[in-house]
Amino acid sequence: MGVTGAAGLLYSLGKLLLSEVIIIGNTSPLITSILAILFLGEKFDAALGINAILSIIGVLLIAKPGFLFAGNSVIEAPTREILGLIGAILSAIMGGVVPLLLKYLGKFTHPITLVYFNLFLWQNFFSIEIVFF
């Protein structure tokens, strides 16, 4: 998941402006919070709700989807920008899921086991991904 997020980030950096990618990528803590509420039973409070609303508004203002902004229709937006947005959103989602999985797996395994698992197993997948992309 971390490799997929990194690949989405690198792909989106080639297609979008750096500021757009950073804004969208910085929503990963919001995704982590929402998923932790849904899957780990974390508590929801008003500050998180306000933060979630402001983050979504910020991402919509940066991404400027055609259904909200009349001057920026899907036809006018090049496909490369849409694919770049998809890559940035994928990166944010994966960046939000990884801490959640680490917290969940931390209940069952020792932290050093998680580090070595990441080091040896995922590096092989990263090598395969480089070959195909």
- Summarised one tens digit per residue, pLDDT across range 68-119 is 666 554 455 577 788 888 999 999 999 899 888 888 888 888 777 777 766 6
Predicted TM-score (pTM) of this structure: 0.72
- Tell me phi and psi for residue 78, to 5 degrees: -65, 155
Q: Is residue 131 part of a domain?
A: no
Specify the pLDDT at position 6: 85
Residue 20 in domain: yes
- Residue 92 falls inside a structural domain: yes
Using CA atoms, how far apart are residues 8 and 116, in angstroms rounded to an integer? 24
pLDDT digits (tens, 9 = 90+) for 43-53: 989 988 898 89
Provide the terminal-to-terminal Cα distance of the chain, rounded to the nearest Å: 16
Number of structural domains found in the chain: 1
Whether residue 83 is contained in a domain is answered as yes
Contact 70, 6 (CB under 8 A): no
Residue 24 in any domain: the answer is yes
- Is 65 part of any domain? yes
Question: Is residue 18 in some structural domain?
Answer: yes
DSSP string, 52-113: HHHHHHHHHHHH--TTT-TTS-TTTS-HHHHHHHHHHHHHHHHHHHHHHHHHHHTTTS-HHH
Q: Is residue 118 part of a domain?
A: no
- Structural domain range at position 17: 2-106
32: tokens are 């982590």
